[in-house]
Each structure stands twice: as structure tokens, then as C-alpha cells.
Amino acid sequence: MGFSGAKVIEASAAAIAVSAAVAKIDMRQFVDIVRIPTPGRGLVEITPEVVAWLRPHDVRTGLLTLFCRHTSAGLLIQENASREVRVDLEAFFDRLAPEEAGRYRHADEGGDDMPAHVRTALTGLQLAIPVRDGRLALGTWQGIYLFEHRRAPPRAGNRRASDRRMTAAGPSGHARRQWK
């Protein structure tokens, strides 16, 4: 399957460890960029990518924050057992914010642009997920999804095609600036 583009998800995890022997609180924070390829409009489960990112940081207890740096895609936690749930959600959003010529004033990046902004406003851009015993505290049938709202692939030269990296803190706690 070919991918039409990639979304940039910023992931951060804070881990807190308390040592009763010396009454010391140890807090570590990790921030990174996770690129998620999207095949076009639809829900893409990203739970495996998020787990793979979290694993090497050895976070036992803490809070994972995910933030999507795009205004045409959102993040959500949804059932991951039945494909019909995703199909129904996608159909619902198609009816809620349809692509109709003349319906919206903003169409700078195509007819799917403004409906994508409306859908993103409804799905949201960030998630906070507890980490307990080194695992995401998701329910049995829950998965983390990137909801791509654009059908058109990113075009070279526009904001969606760029990948800017801001400040990222690694396990040592030292900040580093990366600009692309």
C-alpha cells in the first residue's frame, strides 16, 4: 500500500519514581517526534508505534501525552476490535462535515481542506494516557488512532509537507534543538 503522506505526532512521557529511603523524587521526561504515514482519509491505528516508542524509555508509572502537529488530522482512543466501528465513524464524519463546493469559504488547499479543519476541531489534537506497570492503561478493546481527515496527499511546498522539529529532550534531560 502506498502512503500519501506522513503526520508528525509529538510524544512525551513523564515518569515519576519515589524512593522512600531517601525521600527523593525522581522525575524523567522524554520528548520525541513520531512520524505516522497515512494512506489518505481514515482512521489509522498507531498503538503499536506508540508502544514501540515508549518501551525503550522504561517508564513504569507516568503519563503519556500525544500531540498531533497538524490541523487536518486528530487523535482519539477508540475500539480496535471491530472494523465496522471505524467504517461507521468515518461515514459519520463524512456526513457531519461533507465536501460540498460552495459550502465553505476557505478552500486554499482544496475542497477537502475546510471539512478536515472542522473534523479536527471535533476530534482534538492531543491525548493523555496513563502508564501503569510499564504499559499503557488502555481498556481491553481500546486502541490509539490518528484520524486523517484529508483525502488529498500533501503537496510539496505547503505547510503539511514540511517537517519542522522543535525542542526535544532525551533521557539525559538535556535539551537539544533540531531544525530541518
* Model confidence pLDDT, tens digit, residues 88-135: 999 999 999 999 989 999 988 889 999 999 999 999 998 999 999 989
User: Using 50, 70 and 90 to split pLDDT, how confident is the model at 2?
Assistant: very low
- pLDDT, tens digit (0-9, with 9 covering 90-100), for 50-69: 898 888 888 888 888 898 88
CATH classification (class only), 5-177: mainly beta
SS3 content of the chain, % helix, strand, coil (to 5): 20, 40, 40
Q: How far apart are CA 73 and CA 123, in angstroms?
A: 8
**Res 153: pLDDT:** 57
Top pLDDT among 110 and 180 is at 110
Share of the chain above pLDDT 90, in %: 40
| Residue 127 in grid coordinates | 491525548
Whole-number Cα distances in Å, 127 to 72, 77, 95, 118, 176:
16, 8, 25, 18, 24
pLDDT confidence band for 22 (50 / 70 / 90): low
How confident is the model over 143-172, as a mean pLDDT?
53
Query: What is the mean pLDDT of the segment spanning 7-31?
Result: 66
φ, ψ of residue 27 to 5 degrees: the values are: -120, 125
For the chain, what is the mean pLDDT?
A: 77
Task: Name the pLDDT band for 166 (thresholds 50, 70, 90).
Answer: very low
- Segment 165-170 shows an average pLDDT of 25
